[in-house]
Amino acid sequence: MEKRYSFYTIAFTLITVIAVIVIFAGNLLINYQEEKVVREKVETALQVARAVDGIKRSSITEYQPGASLWTKTAIKEISGLDDLLYIRITGKSGKIYQSSVTGEDGKTVTNPNVLKLLSADDITVTDYIFEKEEAKSIIYPGDENKVIWIGLSLQSAKEISAESRIYAILIAIGALLAITLIIFFVFRNSIVIPLNRIIDAFKGAREGDLKTSINIDSKTEIAELTDNFNKMIKDLEYYQLNLEESKDVLEVKIEEKTKELRELNENLENKIQERTEELQSKVDELEKFRRLTVGRELKMKKMKRMIEKMKKIIKKQKKK
């Protein structure tokens, strides 16, 4: 027998597929939001880099190593960047002229990949590891062969993304539970229960109960199905009544024919009996006639012998 699945199984499968799609879409949305936050922070960092480059070129303000302008606290207060890891002013050769990181002033960058980016004339934004922390490295080429190098932490963006992901998962779970309950009650009241009633009615009709009918208040195809079922039951009941009437009429006709055949048989038997008796009477007459004929023939032969004998006696008398 072919395996069948209930509507609950189909609904559960559908909900599972929806859940996977929702979680996948939510994860994409959260990743997009995370990237958007990172882009906004990078854009703010670029604005800071432009501002620093402008200040650096200003004749009013000179920057000196250790000046409060280049401390991370001061930059954070100016830019509003809480994720600032460092800000450096370097040469294209890699020499650090000024840095918000204590002890870096006067040092030289030795990483060849970073040196390649510092010597370029384009703004570059790359992923970077700073003290075992994921970061964005923003390199902004300024005037006078100086480069503004800003390090931006991604920790807060990832924390926000993680929190958003948790909230999204909780919201998705709640929504899916609500959808599950709604689908369960909708399937149960609109599909499963009416179908079970229809199945029970079909079973009853198969067992011969043609008095059953289904009343389902629905605006879906289920109502059309029940209407067609009720019409089918009425048609079957009508055909059954006609069949029973035809059966009764046929039984009456069969009984009449049987009676006629019985009477005809009895008449035939009587006629056969009469004919048999008549034939037997004929046979008896013929037998009697045969006996009479045989007796006469014997007498004739006897008389013939007597006549012959008399003729012989007469001939003898004539000779004497």
Mean pLDDT throughout 69-78? Answer: 50
d(CA 85, CA 276): 138
Mean pLDDT throughout 255-282? Answer: 83
Say what the alpha-carbon torsion angle 232, 238, 240, 241 is, to the nearest 10 degrees: 160
Q: Report the pLDDT value the prediction gives residue 69, as an integer from 0 to 100.
A: 43
**In whole angstroms, how large is the CA radius of gyration of the chain?**
62
Length of the chain, in residues: 320
pLDDT above 60: residue 252:
yes
Q: What are the phi and psi torsion angles at 79 (to 5°)?
A: -95, -20
**Over the chain, what is the mean pLDDT?**
76
CB 93 within 8 A of CB 101: no
CB 149 within 8 A of CB 88: yes
Per-residue b/e over 163-199, b at no fewer than 16 CB within 10 Å? ebbeebeeebeeebeeebeebeeebeeebbebbebbe
Longest dimension (CA), the chain: 219
Say what the alpha-carbon torsion angle 289, 293, 295, 299 is, to the nearest 10 degrees: 150
pLDDT, one tens digit per residue, over 307-318 is 777 777 777 766
Mean pLDDT throughout 233-257? Answer: 82
Tokens (6 digits) for 72 = 């991370």
Q: Which residues are within 8 A (CB) of 15 and not within 5 positions of it... i.e. 6 or more apart? A: 176, 179, 180, 183
d(CA 86, CA 76): 10
d(CA 194, CA 187): 10
Say how many C-beta atoms besides its own lie within 10 A of residue 49's C-beta. Answer: 23
Q: Report the pLDDT value the prediction gives residue 261, as an integer from 0 to 100.
A: 86
The sheet that has 146-153: what strands, in order across it? 96-99, 84-91, 146-153, 133-141, 124-130
Q: Report the pLDDT value the prediction gives residue 136, as an integer from 0 to 100.
A: 85
CB 99 within 8 A of CB 70: yes
Tokens (6 digits) for 270 = 């009587």
pLDDT, one tens digit per residue, over 117-148 is 888 888 888 888 877 878 888 888 887 788 88
Q: What is the H or E stretch that residue 140 is in?
A: strand 133-141
Q: Report the pLDDT value the prediction gives residue 61, as an integer from 0 to 100.
A: 42
pLDDT, one tens digit per residue, over 101-111 is 878 888 888 88
Mean pLDDT throughout 208-223? Answer: 72
Q: Report the pLDDT value the prediction gives residue 176, as an integer from 0 to 100.
A: 77
pLDDT above 50: residue 162:
yes
Q: Report the pLDDT value the prediction gives residue 57, as an integer from 0 to 100.
A: 59
Please name which of 79, 88, 133 lies closest in space to residue 114, comparing C-alpha atoms. 88
Could you tell me where the DSSP H helices lie in the chain? 7-57, 72-79, 112-118, 155-187, 193-206, 221-319
d(CA 319, CA 256): 93
Please name which of 245, 241, 239, 237 lies closest in space to residue 253, comparing C-alpha atoms. 245
pLDDT above 60: residue 86:
yes
Say how many C-beta atoms besides its own lie within 10 A of residue 85's C-beta. Answer: 21
pLDDT above 80: residue 114:
yes
Strands 146-153 and 96-99: unpaired
